[in-house]
Amino acid sequence: MTGKRILIVGGVAGGASCATRIRRLCEEYEIIMFEKGSYVSFANCGLPYFIGDVIVEEEKLLVATPELFKNRFNIQVCSDTEVLTINRDSKTLTVRDLKTGVDRIEPYDALVLSTGSSAVWPLIEGIDLPGIHALRTIPDSRKIRSELPDMKHAVVMGAGYLGLELAENLVKRGVKVTVLQSSGQIMPTLDLEMARFMTTYLIQQGIDLRLNAKVIKFQRNADDRLEVSLTEGGSITTDAVMISIGVKPQTTLAVQAELSLGEQGGIRVNEFLETSDPFIWAVGDVIEVKNVLTGQWQLFPLAGPANRQGRIAAANIVAKLSGKTPPMTYRGVQGTSVCGLFGVTVATTGVNEKMLKAAGMTHFEKVYLHPGNHVGYYPGAKPIHIKLLYDTRNGMILGAQALGESGVARRIDVIASFIQMGGTVYDLEEAELCYAPQFGATKDPVNLAGMIAANQLRGNHPLAKWEELFDSNTHVSEDQDEAGQWLSLILQDPYEQAQIVDVRTEAEFAQKHIPGAVNIPLDALRQRLDELSREREVWVVCGVGQRAYNATRILQQHGFDVKNLSGGMQTYATFEEFDPSKRSL
């Protein structure tokens, strides 16, 4: 041994990857990991599926055991051990063995904090009653599973990825589920109109989903069941409540050691993942990370980034202890994530429109498209709903959101790679991707997204914004504040800003159309141009956008001021008055 000691507080993704990477880089250092719980490295992303019996054996959740760390990597794991204080002046930790209650001092040459995050528990009366759970650890999942035989109904508070995954797996176990979301949309990584696709689908799967629902009190009723009282009045009687309203960085040690924290409450690190102390690094859910597209600091508690951070920190620690320059920097996050629910995949990368507006970015545009996951003539084609955001100054890809039953993650992964390499929509339209009838199309959805956006930038495909269709005007009273209410009033009056032309067939138009629109099927458009005014803009719409694009090109070349309502009636359904019972994915 060289006498160099590296201590790592916390395991799971970031700490465990850091420890093993250090060992692969240097056989000589002494590496010790401290874990307050009994499990140093487990698949916390798999916990909802353990609840749902998709993962049947608990052992499958254990990524690595203390014995494996010792035998394979010569890393000592101290589980059931709490780190009480960091003593920066002496470069030591005070730790406590939770089984014996004995404290001891551990010196370090380098320290890594991978303390992770903890569930946010709302300050609500009765929150500590039996039957109210948060799912973060294996013992949490054991407790929930033990109550499943008597659980007929459960309330899930929070409609993020974890909350909805938990809801799905409870349904698989025969539990009726009510999901309460305090805001007006599920899945905050999505923009509202994209989230509405999934809202509709979840309701169709039997989830009792309630938006803008806030809990004010928990209590036990006369039957010893939980009573969940809501701000809007009324209550829900249930057998269990799952709290999934978010997580927060576990920074107790960092605060005690007076390390710098960021505005989001996480530990602030530099590009080498060093904290404000040059001998302390931090990785995983406990740190703030910089968004590579907006430059803003944020929390991004996912296992993928934590693993990469652990590797980078390890390389820099070994270099520093060897007197060398840190060889690796952390670029930040671009927000790539995926979730599967009831057979539908939801995936995102980059920034959404809400984030762009919050960051003050104005030079961006968006396109919607709804292509099949593969060619229509091959059996089993399913639509993918896509929203692409890009910079109008240079075509740089800013973000994408997609959902569908097949092929979604593949497309978002491709776009994520282009974003990381500084790609543009022009790169997307030229991307050479795998094609066979069962896998895609000669124009893959990724290509189509790039083509639509590139055509807009070249001036060949002007876009009208759906929001303009629903914005208020002087005919609407001030007390109307929801998109559906605006629509019913606005479209009673003749459009002043544009004439809406629906180029679908007469049968499609008769089935459903935008109020106030005129129907001129695409195949008859050239013969009926005299029916359109050249004094007003023409906004063209079809089913998903393809026929409207062809109509746009015809009208442009005949001198009309024309724009396409991107994504067609499929996108219109996400902006109109929200009625999930009338829609399908």
Among all residues, which ones are annotated catalytic?
Answer: 45
Q: How far apart are CA 383 and CA 531, in angstroms?
A: 34
Helices in 421-562 by DSSP H: which ranges?
425-430, 445-457, 466-470, 483-490, 506-511, 546-557
Cross-strand partners of 539: 500, 563
Is residue 241 within 8 A of residue 228, CB to CB? The reply is yes
Cβ of 111: how many Cβ atoms within 10 Å?
26
What count of other Cβ atoms lies within 10 Å of the Cβ of residue 394? 12
Token pair listed for 157: 């508070």
Question: Could you give the CA distance from residue 47 to residue 141 in angstroms, rounded to a whole number?
Answer: 6
Rounded CA-CA distance 177/179 in Å is 6
The conformational region for residue 402 under phi > 0 = left, psi -120 to 50 = alpha, else beta, is beta
DSSP H stretches of helix in 475-545: 483-490, 506-511
Phi and psi at residue 306, in whole multiples of 5°?
-60, -40
Query: Nearest 10 degrees: CA dihedral of 237, 241, 246, 250?
Result: 140
- Cα dihedral 253, 259, 265, 267 sign: negative
Helices (H), 491-545: 506-511
